[in-house]
Each structure stands twice: as structure tokens, then as C-alpha cells.
Amino acid sequence: MALPVKLRAVVDQIEMTGDEMTAYINRKTGDLITLTDEDLSYAEDGDNDRLIPDWQRETVDQVKQVLANDEYIALPDSFEIHEYKIMEHFCYTIEDERVQNILLQAISGKGAFRHFKNKVYEEGINKNWRRFRDSAFKQIAVGFLENQGIAFTD
């Protein structure tokens, strides 16, 4: 991928990363790559190269390249995104007080993400939630790219 990077591609990468994955972008080329924690551990443990399965060697070599090249920087991860806060902000955009209270109750306690998503579907506001979430992730991506001086197109 050449610069300027497509904003949608960055947003998609950020949305896909989880607790056990990290997405990187190359500042000069705009190339995006997602690495798993397992890939990273294989690459960082150079003493055990012979233990790496053949099918994983290419990935490990790619990981080593990313880690050794300061042109690659990590995209915002789940700790920086605070999806819980995004859900909470969405709740307060709901004008129907009954629905707002249902959603706020859903995000309190264990299983907040699952309960919230179930209630969003039950209340028929899934499209609104997806638009709101997408907009929030887009803002995060724009802020990150601008902060890093990486050119992008919408």
C-alpha cells in the first residue's frame, strides 16, 4: 500500500486488533500488518529458531523485519481505544430515556460488552450503534495518523 494510506484500511485494522494482536503501519509506505502475540514471541525468542514450524517461518521473518525497522509503528490498541467509553458515550446520545437506561444498565458489571450488544439488537438500534462506533474509530484513526504525520485519504 502506498501513501497516502486509505483511512478505511486503518480503521479496519484498528477494529480487528484484539488483546492478542497488534497492528502496525509503515510510516513511509503505508503498509499495514497485523501480528499475533504468538508470532511476536517466536520472533523475539531467537534461540529457538529451530523449533519454529516451517509453515510459520515466513511470518516470523516478517515479524523480525517489523520489529527491527523503526518505520513501523503500532496502531492504537484496545487499551488506547477504550471501547467501553465509546459504548457509554453512545448510551448518552439515546434520547429515549427508557432505552438509555436499559443500555446504561447493560454496560455495568460483568459481561458489559455482550449485554450491551444484545440490548442494542433487542432495541433495534444496531445500525445507530454501528455508525456511532465506526465514527469513533474513524476519529481515533485520524488523530493517530495526524499525530504521526502519515498522509491519508478518506
pLDDT tens per residue, range 69-100: 889 999 998 888 899 999 999 999 999 999 99
Q: What is the model's pTM?
A: 0.84
Q: Match 511476536 to its residue by C-alpha cell.
A: 40
Cβ 5 vs Cβ 30: under 8 Å: yes
pLDDT tens per residue, range 98-150: 999 999 999 998 999 999 999 999 999 999 999 999 999 999 999 999 999 99
Q: Which of 112, 75, 68 is nearest to 90 (CA)?
A: 112
pLDDT tens per residue, range 48-72: 666 777 777 777 777 888 888 889 9
